[in-house]
Structure 1
Amino acid sequence: MTTGFVRGNHLTLLYNGADYFPALLEAIAAAQREIYLESYLFEVDVVGIAVLEALIAAAARGAQVSLQIDGFGARHFPAEWRQKLADAGVRQLFFRPEVGRFSLNRQRLRRLHRKLAVIDGQVGFIGGINILSDLDSPDLAPRYDYAVRVHGPLVAQMRETANRLWRHTAWVQLVPDWAKTLPAPQMPMRAGKSLAKLVIRDNFRNRHAIEQEYLRAIETARDEIIIANAYFLPGYRFRHALLRAAERGVNVVLLLQGRVDHALLHYASRGFYRSFLKAGVEIYEYREGFMHAKVAVVDRYWATVGSSNIDPFSLLLAREGNIAVRDHGLAVALRDDLRSRLSEDASQIALVDLRRGRWLFRVLPWISHGIVRILMAISGYGGKRYLE
């Protein structure tokens, strides 16, 4: 079945910021009517300034520019740039602005984590790349991530998704003029042959859509599953789907974060290594730089690229956006790059590795996992059910 998948798209896999930002800036520079841009992080560095200047130039040409960034992820966005954007006519909204560092309001956990751009209703971008330079350090490889450029009918869904959230946030923040429904651009024409599906996670009708899309692909896999995910803390159903796949002879490969970025999630993730390794799942840790990818390939045909980690924060709390594709060309291109990273930039983990080192680092995964469960239970967002 192809329920939810849209035919007629042309998809381009973009590798890291080196591919993504030139493509995004080129599309913004060509915009004539409208731009929607969503991001969790937006740093005013060399990359961020280039994007901001491109948005200002587009507004000067008469395009309606709508920038929505997360109120926590972009809480340090400079006031002077907010004013520059406002003066240029760029509309800007901050999703759930932070009201206090120590606020106990659990709604603050619900973040806008997706990375989405739609220009003139004709070209869209979706993936895991925030608006910031991916050069973390001169001693490290660029941050490892992906995005997809989309031409074709799926762009209409991407545009409607961005527009719907924009109008919702505008109403909540009492900006009714920005919440008005505007005519949609002309429906994008067929641009290729790829089957693609926009998969979003929100807190209404799409609470489990991304996880369910993964599970369908995993449960029907026959040959190979490769998952690369920066923050990997899967729930019960996801873990057991992978274990069952390994039991029926599927080659299951996980490429995970090798450097400590967020310590709690990093060590909690390691708490699952033993059960996966015993089942024959291959685990690799990426060490050349910081990994931010959230992608997967199944049987060289199904693939997903997006913003959603496989952890409770993404799958239970945040607004996320992935693209799922049934396209041999894109799936093979992604698989080939993942296989290259596995062989050149990652270290394979063996059971014996888990028994090495000081006792503290052997028990730290279980302590971290317990803390995450407690935090999710306190939040009231299903931690026990998810992490059992």
Structure 2
Amino acid sequence: MNLIPGNRLTLLQNGVEYFPALEAAIDHARREIFLESYIYQYDETGRQISAALKRAARRGVTVHLLLDGFGARTLPKAVVGEMRAAGMQVMFYRPDVSLRLKRHRLRRLHRKIAVIDTRIAFVGGINIIDDMDAPGQIPPRFDYAVAVEGPLLAEIHQSARRLWALIGWLQLRRHRSRSRRQSAPLRIAPRGSIAAAFVRRDNIRHRGDIENAYLDAIDSATDEIIIANAYFLPGRRIRQALVQAAARGVRVVLLLQGRVEYFLLHYASRALYGMLLGAGIEIYSYHKSFLHAKVAVIDGRWATVGSSNIDPFSLMLAREANVVALDADFAGTLRGSLLQAISEGAQQIMVDHWNHQPYYQRFLAWVSYGLVRFLMGMAGYARRYEEA
């Protein structure tokens, strides 16, 4: 992991902070925009961001919109046509959606990135979707993004540009934009004092980068580990690292999904609760709204914000992107936000209560865990998951 100094990072919580910042950056764009998203709903938020992107394209900005073929499958074709008519370039990552368990179809574009003029970038877990439209819960969905200014932008820009070029080549399309003609590495002046890294996961050179970043930070922890994850189903290495951290006196806190969004993953993760609680790890179940965050703070200094869950789908299949920061102020802001979420919207799971839960709940958890293992095996990843 390459920490680059001289950055300014701004933590953005939920869509109420993220979407106005993203729209303002788009409206100030003068040369190019790269926007990647797993989900792109054409709801109130989607229409607002789409309008900003079309305004940018009409004033001559080169707009690249890359969406996942599964996550954005409900985006109307007519809307995509309107975007292209306005001058936007739109592509879909693996548009061949199928329920068959073939590994190449399970590899999705799950990262959420925006890069504007190599002036500012956004990295996080927030999709283009109205997070206030949350029937049956108290909105908004609980999530984060980070605005990045400074030298780290060069790596984020390069990653977005290369992925766009790759998908264009794979789909046999030509996208002759100014960004593709640029080959020399960018040099961006410092904008702050934070050392940060752009950590991504792909299926070629960076398969284990995000997992290894977590492992290095957990293994070196001396005081406290706080992890908030929407879908938490770690492999053996991360499970052991957390247990060993707790054994050496580190306070380990997990803020996890309390509401059922995806039935199988929800109950599969609960199969691990007994082992984690028995090791002295604190687990808090977040019920206030849907937890969609993928963040962590370790020792009040190391922090990460991104799109990657700690589960087999994020760590072995999807394209993901996180920002890792080594800065007490940034980490402190994120830590304070997480502690507030625990205080206001979560309930601690106590080990005695968990050990005396009804038999059928344990059975459901272990059956779900077994099904996840089976699905990973059908896709050819069971051994890698258990060894991860």
TM-score normalised to the size of structure 1?
0.96
Give the Å deviation of 1:105: 3.4
Structure 1 runs of 4+ off > 6 angstroms?
Answer: none
Distance 1:175 1:198 in 2: 28
Amino acid at match of 1:323: V
Task: Give the letter aligned to residue 115 of structure 1.
Answer: K
Which residue number in structure 2 is paired with residue 148 of structure 1? 146
Match of 1:116 in 2: 113
Which residue of structure 1 aligns with residue 374 of structure 2?
374
Q: Which whole-Å CA distance do the structure 2 matches of 1:369 and 1:139 have between them?
A: 26
For structure 2, list consecutive stretches of 5 or more residues without a partner in the other structure: none
Structure 2: how far apart are the matches of 1:70 and 1:153?
28
Q: 2:125 aligns with which of 123, 128, 138?
A: 128
Equivalence for 1:306 = 306
Provide the rounded CA distance (Å) in 2 between the counterparts of 1:29 and 1:208: 36
Q: Is the 8 A contact 2:274 2:355 kept in 1?
A: no
Measured in 1, the distance between the counterparts of 2:384 and 2:353 equals 30
CA distance in 2, matches of 1:62, 1:308: 34
Letter paired with 1:293 = A
**How far apart are the structure 2 equivalents of 1:222 and 1:76?**
46
- The separation in 2 between residues aligned to 1:258 and 1:104, in whole angstroms, is 28
CA distance in 2, matches of 1:228, 1:28: 29
Q: Deviations over 1:185-219 (max 9, x none)?
A: 96322100000000000000100000000000000
- Taking the aligned partners of 2:176 and 2:71, their CA distance within structure 1 comes to 22
Provide the C-alpha distance between the structure 2 equivalents of 1:111 and 1:348, rounded to a whole number of angstroms: 33
Cα distance in 2, alignment partners of residues 44 and 385 from structure 1: 37
What secondary structure is seen at the aligned counterpart in 2 of 1:176?
A: coil
Shift of 1:176: 2.7
1:1-388 equivalence runs, <5 A:
4-99=2-97, 101-135=98-132, 136-137=134-135, 139-178=137-176, 181-183=180-182, 187-381=187-381, 383-387=382-386
Distance 1:375 1:62 in 2: 46
Note if contact 1:215-1:241 (Cα within 8 Å) is conserved in structure 2.
Answer: yes
Deviation, structure 1 residue 116: 0.2
Tell me how far apart the structure 2 counterparts of residues 240 and 186 of structure 1 sit (CA, whole Å): 40
User: Shift in Å at residue 178 of structure 1?
Assistant: 4.6
Q: Write the distance in 1 (CA, Å) between the matches of 2:339 and 2:84.
A: 45
Q: Which amino acid aligns with 1:130?
A: N
Please give the alpha-carbon distance, in whole angstroms, between the structure 1 residues aligned to 2:224 and 2:99. 45
Identify which range, 104-113 or 247-256, moves more after superposition: 104-113
Distance 1:46 1:118, change over 3 A: same
Q: Percent identity?
A: 52
SS of aligned partner of 1:199: strand
Letter in 1 for 2:334: L
Q: 2:225 is paired with a residue of what secondary structure? A: strand
Q: Distance in 2 between matches of 1:283 and 1:268?
A: 15
Aligned AA (1:37): L
Q: Which amino acid aligns with 2:169?
A: W
Q: Which whole-Å deviations, capped at 9, do the CAs of 1:345-365 have from their partners, x for residues lacking one?
A: 100001233245542212111
Unaligned ranges ≥5, structure 1: none
Distance in 2, matches of 1:357 and 1:186, equals: 56
In the TM superposition, what whole-angstrom CA distance separates every residue of 1:96-115 from its partner, at most 9, and x where no partner exists? Answer: 0034x444533110000000
User: After superposition, what is the alpha-carbon deviation per residue over 1:115-163, rounded to whole angstroms, capped at 9, x for unaligned?
Assistant: 0000001100000000001121374131000000000000111000000
**8 A contact 1:354–1:362 mirrored in 2:** no
Q: Check whether the contact 1:121–1:187 (CA below 8 A) recurs between aligned residues.
A: no
Secondary structure at the aligned position of 2:157 is classed as helix
Secondary structure of 1:181's partner?
helix
Could you tell me which amino acid in structure 2 is paired with residue 270 of structure 1? Answer: R
Return the alpha-carbon distance in structure 1 between the equivalents of residues 99 and 369 of structure 2: 23
TM-score (norm 2): 0.96
3-state secondary structure, aligned to 1:97: coil
Please provide the CA RMSD for this pair.
1.5
2:231 alignment partner, SS class: coil
CA distance in 2, matches of 1:151, 1:124: 7
Q: How far is 1:182 from its partner?
A: 1.9
Shifted more, 142-151 versus 349-358: the winner is 349-358
C-alpha deviation, 1:76, in angstroms: 1.1
The Cα of 1:384 is off from its aligned counterpart by 3.0
Distance, in Å, in 1 between the alignment partners of 2:101 and 2:237 is 30
